[in-house]
Structure 1
Amino acid sequence: MSAAVCVLILSALWGHTVVSGDLSRPTKVRLTSHDMNLVLSWDLPAEPAGLLYTTEYRSSVINYRAGCVNISTLECDFTRHSIPQTIYQFGKYTARVRAHSGTETSAWVESNNVAMDKETNISSPIISLLSNGAAIEVIIQDPVFRISSLRQVYSSATYNITYWQDSQKQKTRSISNIQQSRVVLSDLEPWTKYCVKVQISTGRISNNLSQPSADVCESTTIDKEVPWVAAVVTFITMAIAVALVVVAVVYRKRISHLLCPKDSLPQHFKEDLMVRPNSSMYIAMCNSHPSEEIFHQVSIIPDSSIIEAERPLEAEPPHTTQT
């Protein structure tokens, strides 16, 4: 009788929920992290009919907190349902889950421990290729993290780039420890199709690598221009421009004197310019008189009808009536 009383008292205290050893517990409970999320998953108990589940999580510095409550799915994402700012990218976490059926509840089942920054699985980067003559530019985009970002968690992260001709995948070439998100592959053959794959290295001692990206292919076109040609042409152009400016500054007086001379003309040049021409045509033009203009005088006589029409009307005298 005393045992039954204790069960009833516990039932009242815990909201009529009874922990029963007969209710099957969830199995294969596991805690994982993918791109800085924190997900607890489990398999169905031996008797799965009509069960609901409640989850909790804790870190090395905080006690258990509520996660998903009374759910029917077999997974709980704590980074989606937890209290804000309670899960950190450098934290170490443990979780647990129990099943419910009516007023009965199974025992808690704890998961493994997960250190977020050391054990999270990193998705593959997204890459795109841009053909530029006989070179190909690789543009890399980091995966999106649920908490923080790739560079904030892994400040020493680098890219490993592997590339090959489309028909010769067994002859791959690679470059490692690249920090730039835009890389130019210049040692390529013109008019050739190349494929590229990129993987992220976190730079940690454990050498945590991301998933490799999908193979992306692009073709080169014309042969690349010799890089020093453009530099030489630019240098010569600038040197000529600087030389012209220096010459103009140093010899500005001579240049001004050449363009605008101050010397007067010799006297015999002035006398020759002032001599009256002896041309017969010029003499005839100077001695000629203006030709007399012939004209007839014209008188304009206005029409009388127009005059009458334009004359103002005179006021008629008023009529008087005799009585």
Structure 2
Amino acid sequence: MAAALRCALCGCLLLCVSGIVPKPQNARVMSVNFRSIFQWDAPKFYKGNISYTVQSKSNVFHGGTYEKEITNLRLTECDVSFLSAYGDYILQVRAESENNHSDWATIRFKPMDDTVVGPPDVKVKSESGYLHVDFIGPFAEHEHDRWPLKHYYGSWNYRILYRKKGSDTEVTHVDTKHNSEILSQLEPWTIYCIQVQAVIPDWNKTGELSRELCEQTTHNGVTPVWIIVTILIGSTLVVVIFVPACFFSFLYLYRLTKRVFCPSYLFPQHLREFLSKSPSGSQFFSPLPQEEHVFYDKLTVISEEYKNQSNETGDEASKTTEHLQDSEQEDSDSRTVPASEKA
């Protein structure tokens, strides 16, 4: 081990002395949602000003020339997002110092296979015992444009993983082709933690999980039996008590209003008959009958002489009256004699 390390150090010193530049190490492409960065490590045991040159070519035509070259790079990375997502490429990089340069460090890059599908944006809402999960993306960004990754791959599913908070073993997952899903059959008043990722069956790719969102469920929307019974009893009491009370209250107010504004006073019968007759002057102003309503006495004044004469005359008149009465009695008796006596 020590001998091998000693030989490597000697080789590097020999390269430095001879002016040969060692090539970059660990060349790789970091690609997320087609945002691709070609990276490498700087060569070891080399001191001095160093720059890099990157070349790319399509791997479809073997032996073809490199189509793109980027020179005089000072950083150990290069943005290659300009490459088509559907291509197959060869990327290479070398180190340069003054008039010397290293060998090429070469890798193969296929964006559709090598890019990492990022997590979607997720929103969770709790309602009526269910969890409504909405998700969108991820997107590929090219300059000012954003394109959903599922437009590149064609086949695309979302996988929703959820579990009770505090339980790491019992994880349930649901796959859907839509951008939303309702999680049902959950326990009420329980906190569930949810993550979502993209799944691409045709490319055998699985995207990164979204950040974990935890939400508590509410009541499951099923009304317990005791609540139904309580409502029925309450409704019955309302019908039995409240409705009659309202009816009698309304009836009392109606009668009171009628008594105040429309009193039930009966006009006397004799006044109604009197007023029903047609008004005429003869009825209102006719004189009252003399024999029924006029009462008076006759006053006679006589003198003393006339009184004596009157007495005498009265005696004679009384005698005359008695004589006439006796005569009338005899006539009456003679008229009433039976017929048998006359015979």
TM-score computed with the length of structure 1 as normaliser: 0.58
Give the equivalent residue in structure 1 for 2:21. Answer: 23
Give the equivalent residue in structure 2 for 1:73. Answer: 75
Contact 2:20 2:101 (C-alpha < 8 Å) held by counterparts: no
Secondary structure of 2:206's aligned partner: coil
Give the equivalent residue in structure 2 for 1:179. Answer: 177
Q: 1:100 aligns with which of 96, 100, 107?
A: 96
1:124, CA displacement in angstroms?
1.8
Q: 1:211 aligns with which of 208, 221, 225?
A: 208
1:49, CA displacement in angstroms?
3.3
Secondary structure of 1:196's aligned partner: strand
Letter in 2 for 1:55: V
Contact 1:21 1:107 (C-alpha < 8 Å) held by counterparts: no
What pairs up with 1:1-323 in 2 under 5 angstroms? 22-46=20-44, 47-61=46-60, 63-79=65-81, 82=82, 87-111=83-107, 113-146=108-141, 148-176=147-175, 178-204=176-202, 206-224=203-221, 280=275
Contact 2:91 2:109 (C-alpha < 8 Å) held by counterparts: no
Q: Deviations over 1:164-204 (max 9, x none)?
A: 1113232222212x111111111112211111111211122
Secondary structure of 1:169's aligned partner: coil
Give the equivalent residue in structure 2 for 1:260. Answer: none
Relative to structure 1, the CA distance from residue 282 to residue 116 in structure 2 (aligned partners, 3 Å threshold; closer, same or farther) is farther
RMSD: 2.6
Letter in 1 for 2:80: F
1:132, CA displacement in angstroms?
1.0
Secondary structure of 2:71's aligned partner: coil
Letter in 1 for 2:201: G
1:57, CA displacement in angstroms?
1.1
Relative to structure 1, the CA distance from residue 109 to residue 219 in structure 2 (aligned partners, 3 Å threshold; closer, same or farther) is same
Contact 2:58 2:88 (C-alpha < 8 Å) held by counterparts: yes
Distance 1:175 1:91 in 2: 33
* Higher RCO (C-alpha under 8 Å, 6+ residues apart): 1
TM-score computed with the length of structure 2 as normaliser: 0.54
Structure 2 segments unaligned to the other structure (5+ residues): 1-17, 224-271, 280-343
Of 189-198 and 146-155, the range deviating more from structure 2 = 146-155
What number of residue pairs does the alignment pair up? Answer: 206
1:281, CA displacement in angstroms?
6.9
Contact 1:127 1:139 (C-alpha < 8 Å) held by counterparts: yes
Letter in 2 for 1:69: T
Letter in 2 for 1:58: K
**Percent identity between the aligned chains?**
26
Secondary structure of 1:188's aligned partner: coil
Distance 1:23 1:184 in 2: 61
1:52, CA displacement in angstroms?
1.1
Letter in 2 for 1:127: V
Distance 1:141 1:89 in 2: 21
Relative to structure 1, the CA distance from residue 31 to residue 168 in structure 2 (aligned partners, 3 Å threshold; closer, same or farther) is closer
Letter in 1 for 2:68: A
- More helix per residue: 2
Letter in 2 for 1:196: I
Give the equivalent residue in structure 2 for 1:248. Answer: none
Letter in 2 for 1:138: V
Which one has the largest radius of gyration?
2
